[in-house]
Amino acid sequence: MTEPTRLVVGMSGSSGAIYGIRLLEILKGMPEVETHLVVTPAARQTIVFETDWTPSSVASLADFTYRPGDIAAPISSGSFPIDAMIVLPCSVRSLGAIAWSQNDSLLVRAADVTLKERRKLVVALRETPLHLGHLRAMTQVTEMGGILAPLMPAFYGRPATLGDLVDHQVGRLCDLLGIRPPDELVERWHGPARG
């Protein structure tokens, strides 16, 4: 039996909590993926403000959950093997903390460990417009080996609902993580229709 893909999911406090929730919903149905979740206090508030979910119901979607202040959690150590980490959504505050290794929370510490161990880190920033400080933080994370994947909708699949937009973005993030999303999640581009 092969080991499952071990993925850390960090949810920070920017708008867009539904993206992290939807990723967890999809991964819950994939026994080949083991999820480790950390939700910041600001993300807990955003979940309540923006969705019909509660923080505890979101936590129930993950295989393992950790408190944001639990710096001794397994995911805080490079000796704990993971395959990848995603911060979804990522606030500009969390981006800056990751960029400058300000390990004052488990989310930032886990991201820092992911980078230092040369593992895949995907940062799904949800902020606009951007000023120079934001751009410098994005550059810093990229130079350290992270993948910046700002949350931006795609329209070539002609989405009919907000759910379609969320699913497409989450499916593309799964691609970046090396996880094959369900086929119906992402409308793949095959070029213009030939007639």
* pLDDT for the residue 193: 77
| 67 labelled ligand-binding | no
**Which residue, 118, 100, 126, is CA-closest to 10?**
126
User: In one letter, which amino acid is 107?
Assistant: L
* pLDDT for the residue 60: 98
Q: Alpha carbon of 176 to those of 77, 124, 169: distances in Å?
A: 23, 11, 11
* pLDDT for the residue 77: 97
| 136 labelled ligand-binding | no
* pLDDT for the residue 1: 62
Classified as helix, coil or strand, 134 is helix
Report the predicted TM-score, pTM, of the whole model to 2 decimal places.
0.95
| 188 labelled ligand-binding | no
Residue 150 in contact with residue 125, Cβ under 8 Å?
yes
CA atoms within 13 A on the CB side of 143: 8
| 66 labelled ligand-binding | no
| 13 labelled ligand-binding | yes
What does the alpha-carbon distance between residue 12 and residue 90 come to, in Å, rounded to a whole number? 5
The domains found in the chain, sorted by start residue, are 5-177 (3.40.50.1950)
| 40 labelled ligand-binding | yes
Q: What secondary structure does DSSP assign to 72-85, as a single string?
A: TSGGGSTTS--SEE
Query: pLDDT digit of tens for each residue in the chain (195 aa)?
Result: 688 999 999 999 999 999 999 999 999 999 999 999 999 999 999 999 999 999 999 999 999 999 999 999 999 999 999 999 999 999 999 999 999 999 999 999 999 999 999 999 999 999 999 999 999 999 999 999 999 999 998 898 889 999 999 999 999 999 999 999 888 788 788 888 776
* pLDDT for the residue 195: 66
| 76 labelled ligand-binding | no
Residue 137 in contact with residue 87, Cβ under 8 Å?
no
